[in-house]
Amino acid sequence: MSLSVPSAPGVKSARTRGASAIDFKSATTGVAAKAMRNELNKMVAEVKDPVQRRVFDLEMQSFFSLFNRYLVEKAKHEVIDWDKIQPLAPELVPSYSSLPETNDTSILEKLVVLKLNGGLGTTMGLSGSPKSAIEVRDGMTFLDLSVRQIEHLNEVNKTNVPFILMNSFNTDDETQRIIQKYANHNIQILTFNQSRYPRVGKESLLPVPRSATSDKSQWYPPGHGDIFDAIGNSGLLDKLLEAGKKYMFVSNVDNLGADVDLKILKHLVDSQCEFLAELTDKTKADVKGGTLINYEGTVRLLEIAQVPSEHVEDFKSIRKFKYFNTNSIYIDLEALKRVMDTEGMELDIIINNKIADDGTPVIQLETAMGAAIKHFRNAHGINVPRSRFLPVKACSDLLLITSDLYSLEHGKLVMNPQRMFAQTPVVKLGDTFKKIRDFNKRFRTVPNILELDHLTVSGDVWFGRNITLRGTVIIVANEGSRIDLPDGSILENKLVSGNVSIIDH
């Protein structure tokens, strides 16, 4: 199927006298869209295998739809009207603690669990490997822990909840190799790939790759908002519905707190909610996180990238926006099928500016999964405890989840009951701890942090064995200095500076 440019109303001939700036922009938009369409059609036509051509064609159609919307919105210069933004009414964010207890496991027969597995562990020093392959606790990876959670759920409830991984072209090969080890486990694992979109030249507005087989670096996975197109295009959505599945729980593979919870599932059914988003209380560490808002009577996701610069501080306010989006959602699959077959998904576009390997400025058009909430009936949020949001984005997070703050129970991290505060400590490790390899070298063993409130470490710092950190601890090795903390050290409310003097803080 060839791609076509949706007709743009109000686009006048370039020869029309007195054409306004907006007419010029609209005409330019039409030209750019036509040029992009021609390039994409050329790439599709060159794919010889009919099955591969069909898959690639569907991806390019989805990409072209997104690109065309980007051009139209850019021409109109539409921005969000800050005065129309309101926090959600309390009834649209019920508290997890207000949900009734339940032992009803019948819903599990209709449930599937999906983990977003498209990211690499690059920021933590594992280039080329899926982030889910990072060892996080007791020799187990994110993937191991997720599999253990579902396996335990199936064993205890004598059910068969399928486990789905949405991979990207960056993670699929390695993930397929890894999941072979679960062949004899009590779990059904399904996989599909999110789309592969072409990077776009910022100046040319043309695709960077010239063919479907162009180098990997010229393509990108277009954010988790692509889940809806990808699961539909793969045929998996129809297969799940045919198998009698109705609900899908989706979360990031690195969120070790996002497990199946019967109370939330019962609320999903009882409230006839088609899309439910887990939110948690915002802290100073989360002020940049997206949140749900009321926008002209509709529940919408608001990301910091959409906020006009003069209102960024308002957006970060904990008073106005109390919660942030954890990216754990529940979707009614029948409703998803209805939306995709009728109106389709028009998710807010996130423009990600990048520099290609050859120095050329490029753009990546991405979308966020939570933005789909506006398309569903009875959609709302639920305020969950922080224990359901335990992401690992950096080695600072790794320190927390490998410490004595948590224990492992059937693949789930459980807070140590001896921890006196509900909040986890704030941990800020400097650049010398950025990569996992360095993290493992600099901590002979992970410190005891049960009574820690805040830890900041900067510079060339090395930790011995069995160190205990309590209260607020700040350790700064100035440039050219090295700090070695001896085995068995106990630091409580201390500032350790570059000359290794220890003073009360």
Instruction: Give the closest residue to 87 by CA, choosing from 385, 387, 389, 381.
Output: 381
Residue 216 annotated as catalytic: no
Lookup result for tokens 């409230």: 271
CA angle 414, 183, 402 (to 5 degrees): 25
The DSSP letter of residue 266 is H
CA distances from 406 to 152, 265, 436 (A): 19, 25, 20
Strand 275-281, strand 380-383: pairing: parallel
CA distances from 64 to 42, 146, 207, 284 (A): 13, 35, 11, 39
Amino acid letter, 234: S
The DSSP letter of residue 255 is B
DSSP characters over 153-181: HHHHHT----EEEEE-TTTHHHHHHHGGG
Instruction: Give the closest residue to 325 by CA, choosing from 224, 240, 442, 397.
Output: 224
Cβ neighbours for 66, distance < 8 A, ≥ 6 positions apart:
197, 222, 349, 365, 367
Burial code (b: 16+ CB inside 10 Å, e: under 16) for 142-152 equals: bbbbbbbbbbb
Contact (CB, 8 A) for 21 and 59: no
- Count of CB atoms situated within 10 Å of the CB of 371: 24
Which tokens hold the place of 289?
């996180």
User: Residue 49: exposed, middle, or buried by beta-carbon count in 10 A (0-12, 13-18, 19+)?
Assistant: exposed
| Among 12, 25, 393, 428, the one annotated catalytic | 393
N residues, the chain: 505
Instruction: Give the closest residue to 285 by CA, choosing from 441, 396, 144, 124.
Output: 396
What's the rounded Cα separation, in Å, for the pair 3 and 329? Answer: 32
Q: Among all residues, which ones are annotated catalytic?
A: 393
